[in-house]
Structure 1
Amino acid sequence: MIVLNGAGTIADVVALAERLDRVAVAPAILAAVTHAHEQADALSSRFATYGRTTGVGANRSTPVLPDDDTYGMRLLRSHAADAGDPLDGRTVRAMLAVRLVQLCVPGSGLDPQILGGLERMLNDDTLPELRHYASIGTGDLAALAGTALTLMGERPATRPLAPMPQWHADSALPFMSSSALTVGRSCLAVAELSRLERASSIIYTLSFLALDGNPSAFSAAAARAAAAPEVDAVAARLRSLFTGAGHPAHIPARIQDPYGLRVYPVAQASVVATLNSIVGQLERTLNTAQENPLFDIDGDQVVHHGAFYQAALSLELDGTTLAMALTAPITHSRIRMLNDPETNGRNPFLASAEDGSSGLMMVEYVAAGAIAEIRAAAQPASVGTLVLSRGMEEDATFASQSALQLERSVAAYRVLLCCELVGAVRLLRQRGLHQHFAGVAGQAMALTADLPWDDRDRDLRGDLAAAEALLDDLGRLVGDADQFS
């Protein structure tokens, strides 16, 4: 049981999204949210409060009458518009988990019973149907409004759900005032990328051993010379993997390797650095009350602000996709080396014979297609802008688009890594090295034992699918790769 106490983590979000655990709000947190709800009611009776005593957006100057009991429901209904394909359950659960974690930090002023409603949705897997198009980056309004309507029975859930009483203005806007869907999607993508990044080091090591690479590229001296964040850590990991492989007969084939082997520590360190940075930003966003308006209970004030403007998150997401676009061609370089007789010492494309067989030729093409997707997704979403609500919102960060682009990049990166893994394993087998390694490299080769052994020209779709299924397990062989799972 995950007991939320005001300090949620990406691991909590992933566990709840994957249905690996149940959730409950700590009694002390529920008491604090209840107190904030009572104080918010008192503050909004003294101060004009956006979305509670006034309209929203361009209607912010229009007062809402104190006896208007229908305003909260009208607000939710009008903001629930979305379109496109339905989101999958895993994504929806991630959003619900993020919103529940966020609401454990008092500040929204909403009814504490809503936290119990989110608990039930997650624990019973009773989900709202949410659709693809709606979010921009200043709040996932439609997704959260639709969730609210589902909690109250106005929209069907995926399973029977006892409806809550209808909400009032004290809870409608506060519940919607969040980027929980964007943050949830980002948490899932970051957790997956973290495993894939570590898997890439193992696959690199297998390629390195197969190609008789020169270990000076990841020496401590080379890492220091890079003068860049996380190169030391990546190089140290590679040294550990190489040394632990226990292959004393390894003799470098070249004085200086091609970039695919030589600059991997530097290029991959950019991914590690951006991952570390985005983890920090996501967990800050998870554990901060960002609702607008914010009820500052200690300060006895209603704060109208723009803290929900996800500029920092958008930049972190864009930076991560850019780092992946930087390192992806280096992976393709190794795939090319594995297929080239000048570097593999075997037939072109690791074919079974020199008779014009194509071998792994098309695997290079698949890898190139994945790189094209990563490059396309790396166009920064944060450079875009749009004016909405009669000029009230004159700039959107498009953080939600940045999250979608990271998802695309991660999916393509999986394909790219499985292409390299298929080639590295084939070359190690052809050289008779597949049973000669210890440590993590030996464990990795054991995991790949079920990959097809037939090197004749045939349909390789199954090989790539089987290799892709191994990537998460490979990633878990390294260090703290399971920190989010």
Structure 2
Amino acid sequence: MIELDGTGRVGDVVRLADGSDQVSVSATVAATIARVHEQAADLSSRYPTYGRTTGVGANRSTPVLSSDENYGMRLLRSHAADAGDPLDDRTVRAMLAARLMQLCVPGAGLDPAILDGLVRMLNQNALPKLLHYASIGTGDLAALAGTALTLIGERPATNPLTPMDPWGADSALPFMSSSALTVGRSCLAVAELARLERASSVIYMLSFLALDGNPSAFSAAAARAAAAPQVDTVAARLRSLFAGAGQLDHSPARIQDPYGLRVYPVAQASVVATLNSLVGQLERTLNTAQENPLFDPDGDQVVHHGAFYQASLSLGLDGTTLAMALTAPITHSRIRMLNDPETNGGNAFLAAVADGSSGLMMVEYVAAGAIAEIRAAAQPASVGTLVLSRGMEEDATFASQSALQLERSVAAYRVLLCCELVGALRLLRQRGLHERFSGIAGEAVALAAGLPWNDHDRDLRGDLAAAGALLDDLGRLLPEVEPVTPAGR
């Protein structure tokens, strides 16, 4: 059971999205949210309050009568429009988890019963049915409005769910005022990327050992010379993997390796650094009240603001995708080294015989296709904005698109790592090195023991699929380091 207390983590979102834990809200948080709900009612009776005593968007100057009991429901219904393909259940659960965590931080002023509704949705797996298109970087309005209509019973849930009473204006806009869908799916993407990033170092070490690489590239002195964040982290990881492999008689084949082996610590460090920064931004967003307006009972004010504008999140997502585009060609360089007779010491493309056989030639093409996808997804979405609602939102960001592009990059990166793993393991086997290693390198080879041994020309789709199934377990061989804590926000 995950008890939410206002300090949610990316890992909590992932566990709730996977359905591996139930969730509850701490009694202290519940009492605080109930108190702020009452205080918000008092504040909005004395001060003009956007979306509660006025319309929204370009209708912000239009007053809403206190006698209009249907305004909250009209607001939800009108904002629930979406289109496209359905979102998968895991993504929807991630959104619900993110929104529930955000609402545990007082400020929205909404009815505390809504938190109970989200808890029931998650614990009973009674999910809203949401579609792909609607979100921008100023709020996932349609997805959250659709969620509200599902809680109320106007839209069906995926499993039986006792409906709530209709909502008033005190809760409609505050619930929608969030980028929870963008945040939730970003949490899933960074968790997967963190595993793949660690797996990349394990696979790199298999390629390094197969190609008789020069360990000076990840020496402490080389890491210091890089003068860049997280290079020492990656280099220390590689030194540990290399030492653990137990190859005391290792003799480098070259005085200076090609970039695929030599600059990996520097290039991969950019992924680690941007990923850590993105995790920090996501956790700040999970644990901050960003609803517009915010209720500040201590200051006796209703705060109208632009803090929901997800510029930092969009930049963090784009930066991580760009870092992947930087390191992807370095991975391809190692794949080419594995296939090249000048560096593998055997046949071209690691073919079984030197008779013109293609061996792993097409695996190199598959890797190139994955890199093309990563590069296409690296076009920064944060440079794009749009004018909406009669100019009321004159510079709306595309943070939601940044999240989608990171998802695309992570999926392609998985394919790229599969290609390297298949080649590294084939060369290790051809050289008779596959039973020599201890430590994590030895564990990795043992995990991959089920990959086919047949090196003759054949359909390799199954090899790549089998390699893909191993990547998460390979990433788990290395310890997970949590870069950000709630206290460090």
TM over 0.5, shorter chain: yes
The aligned counterpart of 1:377 is 377
For 1:256-335, what aligned pairs fall within 5 Å after superposition? 256-335=256-335
Tell me, in whole angstroms, the C-alpha distance in 2 between the residues paired with 1:132 and 1:47. Answer: 37
1-side partners of 2:480 and 2:86: how far apart? 34
Alpha-carbon distance in structure 1 between the residues aligned to 2:40 and 2:483: 37
**Counterpart of 1:154?**
154
Counterpart Cα distance in 2 of 1:29 and 1:38 = 15
Give the SS at the match of 1:290.
coil
CA distance in 2, matches of 1:266, 1:483: 19
Q: Deviation per CA, 1:12-31: give whole Å up to 9, x if none.
A: 10000011100000011000
Q: 2:481 & 2:299 partners in 1: Cα distance? A: 42
The separation in 2 between residues aligned to 1:297 and 1:427, in whole angstroms, is 67
Residue of structure 2 equivalent to 1:133: 133
Letter in 1 for 2:116: G
Please state whether the residue corresponding to 2:85 is helix, strand or coil.
Answer: strand
Equivalences for residues 29-428 of structure 1 within 5 A:
29-428=29-428
CA distance in 2: counterparts of 1:76 and 1:217, whole angstroms: 57
Q: What's the offset of the Cα at 1:482?
A: 8.8
Secondary structure at the aligned position of 1:387 is classed as strand
- In 1, distance between residues paired with 2:6 and 2:298? 17
Contact 2:235-2:265 within 8 A present in 1 as well: yes
Pairwise CA distance, 1:249: 2.0
CA drift of 1:248 comes to 1.5
Structure 2 letter corresponding to 1:111: D
Match of 2:433 in 1: 433
Matched AA of 2:246: G
Compared CA separation, residues 323 and 429, structure 1 to 2 (3 A): same
Amino acid at match of 2:180: A
Deviation at 1:481, TM superposition (A): 6.1
Counterpart of 1:50, as a letter, is: Y
Question: In the superposition, relative to structure 1, how do residues 75 and 23 fare at CA in structure 2: closer, same or farther (>3 Å)?
Answer: same
Give a deviation string over 1:191-237, Cα, whole Å, max 9, x none: 00000000000000000000000000000010000000000110000
Tell me the CA shift for residue 262 of structure 1: 0.2
Amino acid corresponding to residue 183 of structure 2 in structure 1: V
Q: Which runs of 5+ in 1 are unaligned?
A: none
Q: Structure 1 CA distance, aligned partners of 2:298 and 2:414?
A: 48
Query: Is the Cα–Cα contact under 8 Å of residues 194 and 481 in structure 1 kept in the other structure?
Result: no
| Partner Cα separation in structure 2 for residue 240 and residue 208 of structure 1 | 13
Instruction: Output the CA distance in 2 between the equivalents of 1:428 and 1:250.
Output: 14
What residue in structure 2 maps to residue 451 of structure 1? 451
Percent of paired sites with the same residue: 82
Q: 8 Å contact 1:199–1:475 — kept in the other structure?
A: yes
* Runs of 5+ unmatched residues, structure 2: 485-489
1:11–1:483 contact (8 Å) kept in structure 2: no
- Which residue identity is paired with 1:56? V
User: How big is the shift at 1:264?
Assistant: 0.2
Amino acid at match of 2:148: A
TM-score (norm 1): 0.99
Q: Secondary structure at the match of 1:63?
A: coil
- SS of match in other structure, 2:77: helix
1:368-395, Cα deviation, whole Å (9 max, x unpaired): 0000000000000000011000000001
Verify the 8 A CA contact 1:340 1:349 in the aligned structure 2.
yes
Tell me if structure 1 keeps the 8 A contact 2:276–2:483: no
